Structure 1
């Protein structure tokens, strides 16, 4: 299995997990943000969002740009 295929699978799994956590926590996503999550192919970025989603109370906290 190539690294690229593994990264795609990792990204897809993290995107699904992120959507599940946000839904369970009652944090609604706009269609644009949902598309941003489902089309993201960067597993590290998705990991950061997923980590933030565990404690965030708003989408702004989850998707805040890092400085």
Structure 2
């Protein structure tokens, strides 16, 4: 959303919001790409690799959850 300030009745100031996704899809796409770049730079790439190229664990996996309904899906 973009915003600008306007004067209302009796010199009250208020903010008007605009939906950039609807009004400026090109800018919305550019900002989305920029956000993804910042997110990629700010976190450990281990998770990207795991998500994109996940593999089975090397050894046995132990689920220590005390709630059977919330166990790891591959251990059910």
Normalised by the length of structure 1, the TM-score is 0.31
Return the structure number with greater relative CO, CA threshold 8 A, min gap 6. 1
The structure that has the greater radius of gyration is: 2
Q: Which has the higher strand share?
A: 2
Q: Which has the higher helix share?
A: 1
Normalised by the length of structure 2, the TM-score is 0.27
